[in-house]
Structure 1
Amino acid sequence: MFTTEFWRGAAERALKSGAQFALLTLGVGVVAGGVDGETAEVINAFTINFATLGGAFLGGCLVSVLTSLAIPGPVPDGTGRRRNV
């Protein structure tokens, strides 16, 4: 937990998790339809609530970093093997 390698890995995982949270936020309106029975719409960059999207992204990053701190054990190194950080 006290190495540069740990924090690089944690940052990479946090960015990936943040992106997944943001995509989930975008996808909820498309898949589930709108609020109050409205029909689903195509994602439109002019109608996206960027504050909500940014909050979802940062929330995903926070959850990932907290998970990395709570479980700082071995992580995959990209080859399928696990390495200590």
Structure 2
Amino acid sequence: MKEEVRLTAWVRGRVQGVGFRWFTRVTALRIGELVGFALNLDDGRVQVVAEGPKDRCEELLEWLRAGDTPGRVDGVTEIWDTPRGGYDGFATR
């Protein structure tokens, strides 16, 4: 059985107003088996919460860090936790 996890990542850089949340959603759906959301924060960062198999969450985190994203990512900070549930798909907020 695959280990289910919760990834919360805070992405710094020029990540608002460039389609970053939309592309994050598209990437999460392409990876598959992920639920959660991407949210603009007041301080200019984007918060990404993803729940699903650990390898799928790791793949999303790698994409966030790879620089193949809209805008410019200066850094990503993440924490790992147990899933909380309650998400229906992957949304932009």
Relative contact order: is structure 1 or structure 2 higher (C-alpha 8 Å, sep ≥ 6)?
2
TM-score by length of 1: 0.30
TM-score by length of 2: 0.28
Q: Which structure has greater strand proportion?
A: 2
Q: Which structure has greater helix proportion?
A: 1
Computing the radius of gyration from Cα coordinates, the structure with the larger value is 1
